[in-house]
């Protein structure tokens, strides 16, 4: 972020913003966008320059803002060039803290969005680089009452861990002192009168309590003071009120200022401060565990690497590696970046990335992924992706991005949090006044009610209900090789009615091989020599299978002339002046050739066996049939069975002929088959199933699957698939185990179920305990909820929610355990 290009100037009631606009191609584009902007409400003037692709806009910030301007530009068919940054923040503890920070950041002209993550205490900000200074962001965070720690790059994981451990050690120290002093104060309450003292016991309690109270309460009062300075009600304000009223009323009672000696809350004030510290200790520890998956991924990246420089391998920082460098990995070492093996071989443990438990052999030409572990031998590879482009960095970014997103169900909690504290404060005041002025209770009882209500109420549980469950669930998925790319797919997965599979490369291995060669007018070897001579010029998987068959049998492809490929499913060439045709039945018939009845029977037998039959014709005469098969993945039948157990229907879409498709589908356990579907028509099949069955998921791996993946409600791409397929999908499976498909759906349902359970308990705690703290049980049962009990209950609400979320870490989908 460069402050030299920033522009944040006030001209009376006008605000200026400078934007880089994408998508403009000519002066007419610029003129049209400028006219659109000038007509918009709240914009005084706009100047759009095509040469610099820049828009300078003066606007009234009371009538519009950058988010409205972005929507306007997008609706005109253009875009804004935006930047992103992750900021680390210290001092946020609850949903109210997060909401306050977000609101302050969004007040900065040029900030489009700010997502606050309470799990790792960060803000992910999308902004216009030319209009936002880092100092503005720092000031907004501090104005919200919290500490700006730096950007994600500036605050290393190690330094963050050190700060965390230091804070936790300090909290443990405070908890021990607080509990010990609380015990002493309770003992003095019960047995103090029997001590041989020349002054009241309350004086001794005052002397013991004051330094400990200040030591424990200082961070709380400091945070509360900052919040009040910024006209913000946070939970720190509520806590400060609770422990402050407890302590001050005790002091007033001790020295006879307004109150009597009955108002002894010394042990309460210390216990409340101790419980609050204990709650934050447990919360921080539990929150740290929720993000273990990302931490483990970050830890996989080695800090150093052996790279070839000036003809020798030298050890350098892994951050210094560039693309196209030769890097050596020794036994027991981790691969630092992505690349291709150029010499040597090794057995790579990829379990942390793909979930595959067995090491994979890697030799020359094989790809290796950064962060994986070399278990045996040494090898050298050439780097292809470094830094943020490596697979592991992309996985970390994807997981963190998904964890930041909020499923729609969180909106209820967000709404509740926004009015939570004012309502609780109002309830506390009304309840205490009612007890004292209307119901005629003692002032001591009314004060106890007030303190208990503001202490027991806790929006933290509401704020943590969704992010903790999403963080743990997404992390668990990443550990299983299941990458869930957005929060919405979590919620949609619960509504799915059907899973649609592509066949080739998804249900099947995707690497066809020759199962039989039948020759009629020529020898077996000559037939393969001619066929491989033609197909060697083709890139089709079937052509490669024929060439490989010839290689395996030691048959050299014959040199042929005039190779041509036809979209109808075949190829042609010339051999010793004769025309050679190779292709499927339709291609041969359209070429004007006749197929004898005996060969038709052979074709039918192959298709009934689920094989693809390729005919070879020489000089208008059929000379052979080459049968090719693509093997069904071992996990496919169990996958389909597991999906059906979940109450979902299963369908298969393929471009293969009906007989072959039915044969493969029958082996997999699928009865609903759509055969002969051209690639561009798969999305139409998805739409048809959505209309007749309901929300559906499409599982595919190829470029031609991208439209269907995008059209489905939840697109699932297998990790071996193309980048386009993966980009179009909502869920990416890192390896080819189809059992991960039901696992992904089950995990999504588990996460959503846990979010709802968390929200139930968060609301239940507050709904049940606030009335009890208000004294609703006192008239009938004589039960009064003392402030220290309220403090302990407040801890339980947050710890319960986090603990329920952490149970997702133990989740193992039944389908996966079956395979193993």
In this structure, are 533 and 494 located in the same domain?
Answer: no
CATH of residue 58: 3.30.70.100
Whether residue 505 is found in the same domain as residue 644: yes
User: Which of 338-342, 427-431, 715-719 comes out lowest in average pLDDT?
Assistant: 715-719
Euclidean distance between CA atoms 138 and 150, whole angstroms: 8
Give the tens place of pLDDT for each residue, 347-388: 888 876 765 666 888 888 888 988 888 888 899 999 999 888
Distance in angstroms (rounded) separating the CA atoms of residues 584 and 290: 55
- Are 376 and 519 in a shared domain? no
pLDDT, residue 247, reads 92
Q: What is the pLDDT of residue 562?
A: 82
Domain of residue 648: give its range.
487-509+632-729
Q: Which of 162-166, 385-389, 705-709, 712-716 has the highest mean pLDDT?
A: 712-716
- The DSSP bridge pattern shows strands 498-502 and 696-700 to be parallel
pLDDT at position 605 over 50: yes
Confidence of residue 559 (pLDDT cuts 50, 70, 90): confident
Task: Give the chain's length.
Answer: 820
Q: Write down which residue in 80, 110, 133 finishes a domain.
A: 80
> Is residue 197 predicted with pLDDT exceeding 50?
yes
Average pLDDT for 34-57? 87
| Residue 135 forms part of a structural domain | yes
- Inside any domain, residue 137: yes
% of the chain at pLDDT higher than 70? 93
Tell me how far apart the alpha carbons of residues 179 and 181 are, in angstroms, rounded to a whole number. Answer: 6
Residue 720, both tokens: 């071996």
Strand partners, 79: 22
The pLDDT-based confidence of 695 (bands split at 50, 70, 90) is very high
- Where is pLDDT greater, at 630 or 711? 711
Is the pLDDT at 264 greater than 90? The verdict is no
User: What pLDDT does residue 342 have?
Assistant: 94
Q: Report d(CA 659, CA 740) in Å as an integer.
A: 28
Q: Does 257 map to a domain? A: no
Q: Are residues 498 and 562 in the same domain?
A: no
Residue 458 has pLDDT above 60, yes or no: yes
Percent of the chain with pLDDT strictly greater than 90: 22
Q: Positive or negative CA dihedral for 329, 331, 336, 341?
A: positive
Are 548 and 623 in the same domain?
A: yes
Burial track 297-325 (b if 16+ CB lie within 10 A, e otherwise): beebbbeebbbeeeeeeeebebeebeeeb
Residue 9 has pLDDT above 70, yes or no: no
- From 729, 752, 773, give the residue that closes a domain: 729
Catalytic residue list contains 656:
no
Note whether 363 and 497 are same-domain residues: no
**Shared domain check, 59 and 112:** no
Arithmetic mean of pLDDT, 408-418 = 72
The answer as to whether 609 is a domain residue is yes
Query: Is the pLDDT reported for residue 437 higher than 80?
Result: yes
Out of 502, 656, 705, 736, which one is annotated catalytic? 502
Report the distance separating Cα 227 and Cα 776, nearest Å.
32
pTM: 0.75
pLDDT score of 465: 84
Statement to judge: residues 521 and 625 lie in one domain: yes
Are residues 98 and 73 part of one domain? no
Question: Are both 639 and 695 inside the same structural domain?
Answer: yes
Residue 143 inside a domain? The answer is yes
pLDDT of residue 68: 87
Task: Provide the domain count of the chain.
Answer: 5
Contact 148, 142 (CB under 8 A): yes
Local confidence band at 723 (pLDDT 50, 70, 90 cut-offs): low
Tens digits of residue pLDDT in 205-240: 999 999 999 999 998 898 888 878 877 777 788 888
Q: What is the mean pLDDT of residues 324-343?
A: 92
> In the predicted model, is pLDDT for residue 604 greater than 90?
no
What pLDDT is attached to residue 13? 60
Task: Classify residue 706: in a domain, yes or no.
Answer: yes
User: What is d(CA 563, CA 411) in angstroms, rounded to the nearest whole number?
Assistant: 62
pLDDT of residue 567: 59
Q: Where is the domain boundary, 155, 173, 195?
A: 155
Query: 597 and 519 share a domain?
Result: yes
List pLDDT tens digits, range 108-148. Answer: 888 988 988 888 888 999 998 888 889 999 999 988 888 89
Instruction: Annotate 280-319 with DSSP letters as a single string.
Output: HHHHHHHHHHHTHHHHHHHHHS-SEEEEEETTEEEEEEGG
Element (H, E) at 245: helix 235-254
**Residue 594 included in any domain:** yes
Average pLDDT, the chain: 84
619 and 639 belong to one structural domain: no
Q: Is residue 497 part of a domain?
A: yes
């Amino acid at each position: 972020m460069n402050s030299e290009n920033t522009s944040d100037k006030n001209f009376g009631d006008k605000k200026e913003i400078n934007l880089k606009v994408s998508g403009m191609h000519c002066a007419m584009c610029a003129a049209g966008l400028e006219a659109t902007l000038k007509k918009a409400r709240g914009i005084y003037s706009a100047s759009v320059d095509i040469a610099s692709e820049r828009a300078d806009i003066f606007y009234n910030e009371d009538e519009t803002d950058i988010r409205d301007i972005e929507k306007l530009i997008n609706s005109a068919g253009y875009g804004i060039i935006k930047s992103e940054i992750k900021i680390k923040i210290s001092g946020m503890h609850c949903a109210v803290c997060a909401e306050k920070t977000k609101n302050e950041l969004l007040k900065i002209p040029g900030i489009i969005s700010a997502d606050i993550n309470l799990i790792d205490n960060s803000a992910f900000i999308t902004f216009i680089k030319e209009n936002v200074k880092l100092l503005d962001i720092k000031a907004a965070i501090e104005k919200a009452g919290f500490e700006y720690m730096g950007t994600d790059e500036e605050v290393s994981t190690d330094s963050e861990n050190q700060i965390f451990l230091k804070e936790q050690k300090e909290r443990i120290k405070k908890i021990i002192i607080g509990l010990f002093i609380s015990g002493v104060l309770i003992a003095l309450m019960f047995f103090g009168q029997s001590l041989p003292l020349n002054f009241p016991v309350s004086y001794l309690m005052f002397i013991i309590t004051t330094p400990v109270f200040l030591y424990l309460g200082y961070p709380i009062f400091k945070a509360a003071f900052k919040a009040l300075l910024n006209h913000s009600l946070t939970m720190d304000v509520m806590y400060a009120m609770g422990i402050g009223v407890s302590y001050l009323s005790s002091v007033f009672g001790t020295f006879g200022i307004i109150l009597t000696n009955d108002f002894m809350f010394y042990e309460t004030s210390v216990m409340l401060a101790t419980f609050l510290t204990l709650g934050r200790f447990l919360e921080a520890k539990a929150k740290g565990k929720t993000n273990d998956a990302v931490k483990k991924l970050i830890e996989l990246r080695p800090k150093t690497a052996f790279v070839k420089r000036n003809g020798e391998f030298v050890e350098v920082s892994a951050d210094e590696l560039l693309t196209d460098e030769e890097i050596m990995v020794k036994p027991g070492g981790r691969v630092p970046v992505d690349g291709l093996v150029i010499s040597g071989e090794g057995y790579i443990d990829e379990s942390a990335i793909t979930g595959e438990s067995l090491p994979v052999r890697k030799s020359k030409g094989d790809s290796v992924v950064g962060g994986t572990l070399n278990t045996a031998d040494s090898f050298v590879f050439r780097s292809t992706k470094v830094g943020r482009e490596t697979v592991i960095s992309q996985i970390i970014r994807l997981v963190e991005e998904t964890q930041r997103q909020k499923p729609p169900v969180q909106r209820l909690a967000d709404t509740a949090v926004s009015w939570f504290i004012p309502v609780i404060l109002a309830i506390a005041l009304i309840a205490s006044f009612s007890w004292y002025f209307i119901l005629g209770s003692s002032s001591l009882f009314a004060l106890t009610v007030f303190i208990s209500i503001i202490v027991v109420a806790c929006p933290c549980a509401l704020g943590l209900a969704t992010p903790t469950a999403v963080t743990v669930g997404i992390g668990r998925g990443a550990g299983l090789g299941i990458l869930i790319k957005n929060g919405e797919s979590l919620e949609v997965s619960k509504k799915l009615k059907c899973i649609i599979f592509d066949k080739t490369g998804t249900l099947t291995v995707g690497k066809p091989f020759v199962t039989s060669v039948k020759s009629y007018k020529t020898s077996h070897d000559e037939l393969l020599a001619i066929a491989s001579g033609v197909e060697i010029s083709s890139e089709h998987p079937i052509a490669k299978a024929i060439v490989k068959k010839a290689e395996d049998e030691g048959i050299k492809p014959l040199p042929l002339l005039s190779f041509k490929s036809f979209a109808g499913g075949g190829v042609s060439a010339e051999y010793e002046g004769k025309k050679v045709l190779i292709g499927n039945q339709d291609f041969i018939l359209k070429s004007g050739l006749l197929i004898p009845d005996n060969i038709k029977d052979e074709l039918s037998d192959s298709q009934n066996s689920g094989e693809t039959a390729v005919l070879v014709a020489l000089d208008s005469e059929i000379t052979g049939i080459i049968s090719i098969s693509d093997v069904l993945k071992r996990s496919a039948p169990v996958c389909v069975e597991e999906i059906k157990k979940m109450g979902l229907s299963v369908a298969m879409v393929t471009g293969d002929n009906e007989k072959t498709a039915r044969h493969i589908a029958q082996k997999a356990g699928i009865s609903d088959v759509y055969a002969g579907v051209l690639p561009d028509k798969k999305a139409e099949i998805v739409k048809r199933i959505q209309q007749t069955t309901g929300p559906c998921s499409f599982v595919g791996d190829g470029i031609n699957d991208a439209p269907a993946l995008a059209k489905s409600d939840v697109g699932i791409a297998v990790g071996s698939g193309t980048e386009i397929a993966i980009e179009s999908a909502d869920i990416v499976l890192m390896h080819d185990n189809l059992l991960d498909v039901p696992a992904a759906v089950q995990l999504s349902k588990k996460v959503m179920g846990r979010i709802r359970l968390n929200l139930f308990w968060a609301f239940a705690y507050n709904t049940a305990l606030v009335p009890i703290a208000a004294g609703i049980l006192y008239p009938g049962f004589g039960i009064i909820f003392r402030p220290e009990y309220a403090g302990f209950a407040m801890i339980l609400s947050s710890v319960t929610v986090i603990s329920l979320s952490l149970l997702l870490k133990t989740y193992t989908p039944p389908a996966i355990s079956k395979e193993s």
